[in-house]
Structure 1
Amino acid sequence: MRRLPPLNALRAFDAAARHLNISAAARELHVTHSAVSHQVRQLEEWLGKSLFIRHAGGVRLTPEGQSLKQVADQIFSQLQAHCEELAEGAPVAEIVLGAPASFLSNWLIPRLDRFESAHPHVRVRLQTSGTIEDLQRQVIDCLIVSGQNWPANVDAVRLFDEHVGPVCAPDWAHRIGAPKDLIGQPLLHTSSRPHAWEAWAAGNGLEPASFANGRRFDQLSLLLEGAVARLGIAIAPATLVQREISHGRLIAPLGFIATGATFAFCSMVGSPNEAVRDFSEWLQEELSGATPDSPC
C-alpha cells in the first residue's frame, strides 16, 4: 500500500506553489481561498514540515516547499501528458536515458524538443546518473557516457571524441599564453572529474602535481559558474562548455585537447526497443558534420 498524502492536498499545494498566491490557486481549482489554505495546512501537518512562509503580499516557499514543488511539477506534468495521450488513443513508448547531469543540461535538454516533435509518441525520461552496470541490469534503457572500452554485450555508438581544455572569464585571457602560465593560478575542479587537471597537465608535458590543488565543485554547472564569476580557471569538455563560450561568458584561451575517450550512446546488443533506435539515430543526425570543439 502506498503511503502518500491526500491527492487533493498535493493539488492545492501544486497550484499555490506555482502561483505563490492562495487566491490565484483557489481560482484555478474552482474552490474557496479557505479550502486551499486548509488543504495546504493538511499537507504540512502530514509532512511535519512548513512548505510556505506567509507574508502580506502572498506566500513564498520554504526550502522544503521548493524541493516538493520541483517533484510535483515533474510528476503532475508527466501524469497530465500521459492521460492526454491515453485519451487520444496513441501508444506511448517511454525510454529511460542515463547521462551525466552536465550533458543533459548543457547539450541535450536544449535540443530535446526537436526529438519529441519528430517522434511525438516517444517519451524520454532523463536520469542524471547511470552506469554500464545499470544498463546491463536494465535499470535504464540507454546511456550516454564517456569511455574507451565497452563490454561485448553493449552496443556503443560513437557520438563524438572527448576534448577538454581550460576555460575562464574573458578578461583573464591576458594571463594565459601557454600551458605553463596556469601554474600557480587558482584552478577549479569538479568531483565528477577529480583528476582532469592532472591529466591535462601530463598531456601538455607539465608536472601533474602542480595542478592538483584548488577549489572543488560537486557539479560541472557550478564549476562553470565559478569560472564566470572569476573564482579561477576551470577545465571542461568542449561539448559541455560550448554554450557558455558561444554566449561570450567564457573563453578557451588554449583550446581543447583529445583525452582518448569517446562520448557514446550505449544500449544492449540485440535490444528490440525501437524507440531506443529512433533516439540513437536522432542523436547521430544532430551531431553529423559537427567538429569536436563545436558539436553544437
Structure 2
Amino acid sequence: MRRLPPLNALRAFDAAARHLNISAAARELHVTHSAVSHQVRQLEEWLGKSLFVRHAGGVRLTIEGQSLKQAADQIFSQLQTCCEELAEQAQIAEIVLGAPASFLSNWLIPRLERFEAAHPNVRVRLQTSGTLEDLQKQIIDCLVVSGESWPADVDAVSLFDETIGPVCAPDWAPSFRGPDDLVGQPLLHTSSRPHAWEAWAASNRLDPSLFANGRRFDHLSLLLEAAAARLGVAIAPALLVEREISQERLIAPLGFIKTDATFAFCSKRDQQGGAVRILREWLCLEASTEIRP
C-alpha cells in the first residue's frame, strides 16, 4: 500500500503553491477559501511540516513547500499528459486491414498519409497475411484481395479490375513484338500466383506448358527485384507494378490483359459501419479517381 497524504489536500496545495494566494486557488478549484485553507492545514499536519508562511498579501512557500511544489508540478503534469493521451486514444477507432504485401507496399502505403489526414480519428493497422478465412474468424476487420467469387457472409466491393502482363528491365536484350517472342525466354514466377504465366499464355492462344518452367520466388517484391536485375521476365498485375514502371525500373513491353478476377475490399456483412465504412468509401474514391494506364 502506498503511504500518501489525501489527494484532495495535495491538489489544494498544488493550486495554492502555483498562485501563492489561497483565494486564487479556491477560484481555480471552485471551492471556498476556507476549504483550501483546511486542506492545506490537513496536509501540513500529515507531513508535520509548515508548507506556507502566511502574510497580508497572500502566502509564500517554505523550503519544504518549495520541495513539495517541485515534485507536485512534475507528477501532476505527467498525470495530465497521460490522461489527455488516454482520452484522445479513446476517440480513435483502430481497424486491422489485411492485404497482400505487394498491394500494401506498392499501392496503399504511398497513399495512406492522405487517408490519415482526412480521417485523423481512424487508425489503420496493416497486416500482410490477410485471407478470407482470417476475415471470417475476425482476426482482421477488412481485407483487400484479388478474387472471382466470395463467401455468402462477406461483402465484397470491387476496387480494380485485375490485369496482368509480362514485365522486365528496360534494357532487356530481346525485342518483344508479340506474345510468341516470350517462348524460350527465362521466366520468373511467384508462389502467390503459381499459374499466372500459364493463364496468360492460354489467353494469348499459346501452349501453357511452354510457360510452366522458370525461377520461382515466394513474394512478388522479390520477383520484381529479380526482373529489374535482368534475371528474366516476370508476370505481375498492373496494379502492383505501377510504381516500378513509373520509376522506369521495369517496362511492360506487351501491355496487360484483363483476367476474370478483381481487387475487392471485403468485410463481414454484419460489420459495415463505423471505421470500416469510412475506409471502404475512401478506398473506392481513390480507386475511382485514379488515372491508370
Normalising by structure 2, report the TM-score.
Answer: 0.69
Q: Does 1:191 align with 2:164?
A: no
Aligned length: 212
Change (3 A) 1:84 1:166: farther
Over aligned residue pairs, what C-alpha RMSD do you find?
A: 1.8
Amino acid at match of 1:202: A
Q: Does 1:222 align with 2:236?
A: no
Amino acid paired to 1:135:
L
State the shift of 1:261 in Å: 0.2
Q: Output the CA distance in 1 between the equivalents of 2:177 and 2:269.
A: 47
Q: How does 1:267-278 map to 2 (within 5 A)?
A: 267-278=267-278
| Same amino acid, percent of matched pairs | 73
Shift of the alpha carbon at 1:133? 1.6
Segments of structure 1 that go 5 or more residues without pairing to the other structure are 1-81
Following TM superposition, by how much is the alpha carbon of 1:104 offset from its aligned partner in structure 2, in angstroms? Answer: 0.4
- 1:1-296 equivalence runs, <5 A: 85-86=85-86, 88=88, 91-172=91-172, 174-290=174-290, 294=293
Say which is worse superposed, 234-243 or 117-126, in terms of deviation.
117-126
Of 189-198 and 266-275, deviating more is 266-275
Q: 1:177 to 1:125 in 2, by over 3 A?
A: same
Shift in alpha-carbon separation, 1:154–1:110, aligned structure 2, 3 A: same
Aligned partners of 1:141, 1:204: CA distance in 2, in Å?
38
Distance 2:242 2:116 in 1: 23
Residue matched to 1:46: none
CA distance in 2, matches of 1:168, 1:89: 46
Instruction: With the length of structure 1 as denominator, give the TM-score of the two structures.
Output: 0.68
Take 2:85 and 2:104, find their aligned partners in 1: how far apart are those partners?
25
Contact kept? 1:85, 1:91, Cα under 8 Å? no
Shift of 1:87: 5.5
> Per the alignment, in what secondary structure is the counterpart of residue 253 of structure 2?
coil
Q: Structure 1: how far apart are the matches of 2:184 and 2:92?
A: 55
| Distance (whole Å) between structure 2 residues aligned to residue 202 and residue 215 of structure 1 | 20
Is the CA contact 1:90–1:121 (under 8 Å) kept in the aligned structure 2? no
> 1:156, 1:265 within 8 Å by CA — same for their partners in 2?
yes
SS of equivalent residue, structure 1 residue 97:
strand
